[in-house]
Amino acid sequence: MITLTDFLVVSAVLFCIGLYMIVSKRNAIQILIGIELILNAAILNLVAFGKYDKVNNSGQIFALFAIVLAAATTAVALAIILNVYRRYKTIDPNDINKLRD
Amino acid sequence: MTLVRVLFYFLSFIAIVSALYAASSKNLVRSIFVFFVTLFALAGLYVLALADFVAVTQIVIYVGGILVLILFAFMLSGKETLNVIKQQNSRIISLKTLPAILLAALFFIVLLNVVLKADADNLPWIRESISLKNEITPNAIMIDNIGVNLMTRYLLPFEAISILLLMALVGAAHLSRKEGKA
């Protein structure tokens, strides 16, 4: 059988890849992909531990909630990205350094 | 080596390699589509963790919804997006990305230490759950149980998250409206 430690190691690797993307990328969309990777690592952990809760299903249900939250995050983040692009004509986070006049 | 284990290694290999490729690719479109592969492999891993409903939800929401949204954002934000990426250095390890790689690698070492020290398979509540037969077995059908739990025990978080989703969508529509008229 697959042990819990295997799942935890895989999700740790995914988490670190997401961290690398967030820190190093110069494009808001790729940073968003990094955030999604981190969220997926967390969901993988929830699901792996949820296997040991047959009656209440807490792990799986909160994994579902996390997926819905990720969808909401992405919708808002993309609206913000579109707005930023309209104003600055770029989505490089380094260039976005002014507040509204 | 059982078949399940082989499948687990195969799927996690695909997930990790495609995530690495998405992280290192210079081409934004390719990076988005490879992220697609990562999400599918993760859905397979959820199936191996005996959470088939979560896997299907992952495919429907992530692959069907979020990736299409990301592609839209990419297409609506025009050519400058691509130029930013082309300006980056062509080597994988350049001076600019070195701190990020260092941070990620060191953090990975910390996480790995924590995971190995925690020894999750021998936690008290997990041993108890196995001895009480509270563990999900591969032939159990969990979907009806999830539905009942969602409407009874987890009704409050369910309603809270539905209101939050509504607020987020209204907020997103408000943010992306044309300016000047309001």
- Please judge whether B129 and A52 are an interchain contact, meaning their C-beta atoms are less than 8 angstroms apart: yes
pLDDT tens digits for chain B (182 residues)?
A: 689 899 999 999 999 999 999 988 878 888 889 999 999 999 999 999 988 899 999 999 988 888 888 888 888 776 665 665 555 555 555 677 888 899 999 999 999 999 999 888 888 888 888 888 888 888 888 889 999 999 999 999 999 999 999 999 999 888 888 766 54
ipTM: 0.90
Q: What single-letter amino acid sits at B88? A: Q
Instruction: State the pLDDT at residue B43.
Output: 93
Q: Is A100 on the interface with B (CB under 8 A)?
A: no
SS percent in chain A: helix, strand, coil, step 5: 75, 0, 25
Helical (H) or strand (E) element with B163: helix B155-175
**For testing contact with chain A, the best of B9, B10, B12 (most A CBs within 10 A):** B12
Q: In terms of CA atoms, which chain A residue is nearest residue B93?
A: A24
Select the residue of B70, B136, B168 nearest A29 (Cβ to Cβ): B70
| pLDDT tens digits for range A24-80 | 888 888 899 999 999 999 999 999 998 888 888 889 999 999 999 998 988 898 888
Which of B42, B31, B61, B51 has its CA nearest to residue A73? B61
The answer to whether B5 touches B11, Cβ cutoff 8 Å, is: no
CA distance A67 to B55: 10
- Write out chain A residues lying below 8 Å of B164, CB-based: 69, 72
Cα within 13 Å of Cα(A33), Cβ side: 37
- Write out chain A residues lying below 8 Å of B124, CB-based: none
Q: Is A38 on the interface with B (CB under 8 A)?
A: no
CATH number among 3.40.109.10, 1.20.120.720, 1.20.120.1200, 3.30.420.10, domain B1-88: 1.20.120.1200
Select the residue of B8, B153, B168 nearest A75 (Cβ to Cβ): B168
What tokens appear for B157 in the block? 């978080």
CATH class entry, domain A4-88: mainly alpha
**DSSP one-letter code for B136:** P
Which of B106, B179, B15, B93 has its CA nearest to residue A43? B15
Pick the residue with more confidence: A92 or A77? A77
For chain B, the structural domain boundaries read: 1-88, 141-182
- Write out chain A residues lying below 8 Å of B31, CB-based: 30, 33
- Please judge whether A27 and B20 are an interchain contact, meaning their C-beta atoms are less than 8 angstroms apart: no
pTM above 0.95, yes or no: no
Select the residue of A17, A54, A91 nearest B77 (Cβ to Cβ): A91
- CA torsion sign for A81, A83, A86, A90 is negative
Instruction: State the pLDDT at residue B87.
Output: 54
CA distance A63 to A66: 5
Residue B148: Cβ within 10 Å count = 11
Residue A59: Cβ within 10 Å count = 22
